[in-house]
Structure formats: C-alpha cells, structure tokens
Amino acid sequence: NCLLHVQKNEIRTFDSLDGLWTFVREPHNGGDIGIGNQWNTLDLDKFPNATVMPVPSAYNDIGTGSELRDHIGWVWYEKKEFVPLRDRNMRHVLRFASVNYFAVVYVNSEKVTSHTGGHLPFEVDVSSQIKFGAENKFTVAVNNTLSWSTIPQGDFNYQKLAQRNISGRILSRLPDGAVKNVGNFDFFNYAGILRTVQLVKIPSIHIQNINIVADHTGSFFFETAANNLDGIQVEVKMFDGDSNQVFTTNQTKAEGKLENAKLWWPRGMGDPNLYTLDVSLISDGELVDIYRETFGFRTVTWSDSQIFINSKPFYCLGFGMHEDFELIGRGFNQAVMTKDLNLLEWMGGNCYRTTHYPYSEERMFENDRRGIAVIVETPAVGLKGFSKANNNLHIKMLTDMIDRDKNHPSVFAWSLANEPVTSKKESRAYFKTLVDTAHGIDRTRPVTTVYGPTNFDNDETADLMDFICVNRYYGWYIDMGYIPWINQSVYWDISLWRETFHKPIIVTEYGADSIPGLNQEPSVDFSEQYQNEVIQETHHAFDALHKDHTITGEMIWNFADFMTGMTTTRAVGNHKGVFTRSRQAKIAAYTLRNRYLKRFDQTQLE
C-alpha cells in the first residue's frame, strides 16, 4: 500500500483537481455515522442549495454562518472535469493527499473507495471508471464525526426525541436532535479536503515503491518494486547534488558504499546535502517508467541520554506547531508553509514535531532541503481508550505514515502518540504493537511517545520507547502565578523521568498563553510579560538539564496561536504561540530567538 509522491517527468504526469468544487452540506448528523444520502447518483451542481468550496481548504471557515463552521456529519464535494483522450493508455489513479476525517469517493456515480483518517494520502486506480475524451464526475462524501473509536478520539452525543411526562413536561435538558461532538484534543477539528487532489497518470508497467537507507559512512541500501518486471530491464542511477552520477546498477535491490559521501546535516551542524536515485524501467530499449527519489546520507543513533546525528550530539531547538491559518484552517497553503519555515529559521530553530498529525508532503521536502530535523507524529492525540479496533487503526496509520515519509533524511524519529493516558494497564500491550510495527518497518530511526497526563512513577509504556518526550507546564497548568518555582519543579520532574527510564528526553511542550498586546507589569496570566517570564524561567531549568545530559532538546508550545473548539480556557483559540495567528512576533519570540541563535552552532556540542 505504498504511495509514491506524485511527480511529473518523461513518462509520468497528472491533472490537478484542485480549485472550486461544488459543495452541499447534509443536515447535522443524527447519530448515524453510516452513509447519509446517496447523492453520488445526482448532479450536486443542480441542487438549489449547492455552493462552491475551494480545494484544498478546510470548509469550516469559508461560509458565513456558524452552521457550516460547527457542522457535524456529511458534506459532499463534486467536480466535473474532462480527461483527455490522448491519455487513454495511461493508468489513472485518483489520489487525495488528505481528507479529514472519513471519505467515500465516487467516479461517475460509482463508489471507488473509502478512507478513514485525515493527514495521510490515499489513492485508487480508476482507469476502468474514467471516460476518456469526455467529462467525468468526481464526488467525495466527507464525514467529520469523531467517536471513541476514531483516531483522534472524540465524544459524540445525540439527543433523540425527548421524553415527556404525562402532563407533557419535557424530561430532557437538550432540544430534540441536539448533536454535540467534542474532540479529545486542543485544536479545531478542521474538516474537508485539506490537501491536493490529483488524477495521476502512470504507465501500466510502473514503479511502485522505493526504499533507500543511506548512512553517514557512505553505505547505502535500496530496494525498488514494480508491478511487473517480466521482460523489463531496470536501470538505477545515483546522483549527487551537482548531478554527478556516483553509482549505477541493473538490480532492483543493491547495496554499496560511496567514498566521501556528502552528508545531510541539520542546520547549525552542516549543509543538508541531498542525493537522487533515478529508477528506470526499460523494455526493448524504450523507457517505460522513471521515478526520481531524493534522499540523504545521515545516521540517527541514541545513547541512554543523547541523540546523535552522524555521530555528533544533536540538541533540538524546536517547536510544536500546527497546520493552521485564518480562513483555510488546516488546508494546505504554500504561502503559509513557506512563511512558517522562514520564521522558524529566523528564530534559529533546527527542529520541530508535526503536532499532532503528519504534515503535508510539500513540507517534508522543504524540511529536507532546509535542514530542519523533524519528529513525525501520528494523528493519535489524547488517546484514552485502547481497544483492539483502535489499535488496528493506529497501526495502519503508523504504517502509512512511515511509508510516506521513510526516505526523508529530515525525519529523525517517529512519534506514536501525543499525551495518551498510558497510566492505564491495557495501554502497555497496545503500545508494544506500535513500537514493534515501527521497528519492523524502519530500523534506522528511534521511536518515541509524547507524555503528558502520566508521570515518571505511573507510566506503563515509557520504557518501550527509544527516547522519551515529555510535556510540562509549570507556571501555567501547575502553580499558575508562581514563576520563581518553575526552575526547580521542571528540573525535579524531568530528572526523575530520566532516572526512572535511562533514556534520552526531549521536553516537547512548555509555555503559557498570552493575548497579543495585553501588557501587565508586574505580569499576570495571559499578558505577554507572563508568557515571556514562564519561558525564561523554564529555560533556566533546561540549561541545567542540558548541562548534565538529562535532556537532548526542547520545543516551545507553540510556534503560533491556533484555533480550538470553544471552552472556558480558550479565548478565540489557544494563545500559547510566540507568534500570533497572523504570524507577528510576541515578546516571547525575541526571547526564544536570542536563545536559539546563541545555541544554533552545534558543531562544538559535547
């Protein structure tokens, strides 16, 4: 089930289906998560209530009322598009880079596939459904309802017809048909077609998978798969960043060693050198397929206290982030992606975690190119139920995620989950399957989980991990207002995790909310001063923890303010950003920038 990234080259091409799609919303979910109306058989653009929806974008903030923003249940997207006759000899694969949460896909009214979960790509061969030289109808039904069996999880409540007593008095607090769906996580559940949609055209004999492992000694191994190799000659060529050919073979699988390989380094340690592997399939001297995969020579190792990249200690100066912006929500946007990575570099950052789901494929290539090291995280945020069904879905998402991102040198670790309730006994067996899955597919990267609700003395899973991530909020969720206590509390807490588990630790979240422009001296919570002081005090503890090799990195929560659902602790979203939601710096951004820039050059680290 490997999905290669889409590329255009001598043989391969694609039609983008991005743009304005026809859009119709069904009534709120009546508690039935099964398919609603069978509108795939109709022309949605003829519906009187049809409107348009940009793709890619979340749909929630595009409308004008709260109905669409707060919608729970089905929405329908439809696009009519010609498929040229000249392409009729190509395989046609319909590929979605991310649809949140549940998608059912139809081509010319016929169901072709369904998919569960946002933030990961899925595709389906539609060659036999497509009409060539004609207009085709693509329909996608999307449901955003979360429950305790989805990942991420959420609480679903539906008030059926209320009971009445004999005198007709209503016996229910909530009106008939009331639906409430609260995600068990702290960000808005942006829904719809969030990333690009492409009609991918590949030859009938084609490359299906490429797996490359290349380390800092110059050793490499690769393996490539095709759907059919009968009578096919394979040609593999490796090129360095200056397009010099450095290796070639006719095997689908080979290993070798490059003398003087130029390594991929995170920024602050060296240049992020990249190589390319060109895989060609040739039949009777003619090129039938070609695919070019970029990769890097680099090694990730870890001791009981540190993480090393190419045998050199790596200290993460990082961020928790979100794919989140005004209007588009979690929809992919090149301007937002580029601005965010530019700001991350301006801050002197070298690292981030894809909180709390895999980020866009475009962004993974940018991380490679810029030398930004990333921990890629599954969509499993805030897990508190550990059923077999959850486990299977989680394993599938983890597998798809590693499959998608395995050849990116910037990815240095896999995060299985954020803040699971792993004090529950049954979580151990559950997490064991995930660790084994990740190690089974990828031996070259460490596996971690990000701990929040559990402590060093009650977590059932942390010893299974290669390194440990911990989120801690002294001065905010704990001891609000007691800034002078932060230093000792953070040191105490984190050093006990380390003493208990003897693993490297990254503190992956700390921080405080601030409303931009709210100034208070002396500081009070929600002022820019308070946020800044919490961060400065936490840094004192980090310096001591770094010095004695207790932590191998730090990540602020959060890079920028982001939207959440409505709760009493959120005023138009979470304001723990060091940037505002429109990416303007708060006071804390300068504190962090000073700190990261001072530590940016990592070549002297011990």
| Active site amino acids | 419
CA nearest to 489, candidates 507, 503, 504: 507
Smallest distance from ligand E9O to CB 513, Å: 7
First-to-last C-alpha distance (Å) of the chain: 42
Strand pairing class (468-471; 286-295): unpaired
User: Which is closer to ligand E9O, CB of 442 or CB of 493?
Assistant: 493
Smallest distance from ligand E9O to CB 480, Å: 10
User: Which is closer to ligand E9O, CB of 461 or CB of 471?
Assistant: 471
Smallest distance from ligand E9O to CB 477, Å: 4
Q: Which two tokens stand for residue 559?
A: 């890079």
Smallest distance from ligand E9O to CB 471, Å: 5
User: Which is closer to ligand E9O, CB of 252 or CB of 574?
Assistant: 574
Smallest distance from ligand E9O to CB 515, Å: 14
Tell me how far CA of residue 289 lies from CA of 224, 233, 339, in angstroms.
Answer: 13, 11, 35
DSSP per-residue letters across 561-580: -B-----TT-SSSB---SB-
Which residues make up the interface to ligand E9O (CB under 6 A)? Answer: 186, 356, 419, 452, 471, 473, 477-478, 509, 557, 574, 576
Q: Taking the CB of residue 250, how many other CB atoms lie within 10 A of it?
A: 10
Q: Which two tokens stand for residue 414?
A: 């896999």
DSSP label of 162: P
3-state secondary structure of 171: coil
User: Which is closer to ligand E9O, CB of 228 or CB of 458?
Assistant: 458
User: Which is closer to ligand E9O, CB of 348 or CB of 577?
Assistant: 577
């109306």: which residue's tokens?
A: 37
State the Cα–Cα distance between residues 120 and 475, nearest whole angstrom.
36
Smallest distance from ligand E9O to CB 604, Å: 33
User: For 189-347, where are the alpha helices, taking DSSP H only?
Assistant: 334-346
CA nearest to 360, candidates 96, 129, 172, 182: 96
* Contact (CB, 8 A) for 122 and 3: yes
Smallest distance from ligand E9O to CB 73, Å: 25
Collect all residues with Cβ–Cβ distance below 8 Å to 387 and sequence separation of at least 6.
148, 149
Q: Find residue 289's DSSP bridge partners.
A: 281
Q: Which residue minimizes CB distance to ligand E9O?
A: 186
User: Which is closer to ligand E9O, CB of 181 or CB of 252?
Assistant: 181
Smallest distance from ligand E9O to CB 574, Å: 5
User: Which is closer to ligand E9O, CB of 137 or CB of 356?
Assistant: 356
User: Which is closer to ligand E9O, CB of 475 or CB of 504?
Assistant: 475
3-state secondary structure of 81: strand
Backbone phi and psi for residue 544, each to the nearest 5 degrees, phi listed first: -65, -40
Q: Which two tokens stand for residue 349?
A: 């950052």
State the Cα–Cα distance between residues 309 and 600, nearest whole angstrom.
15
* Contact (CB, 8 A) for 58 and 69: no
DSSP label of 247: E
CA nearest to 249, candidates 279, 217, 220, 226: 279
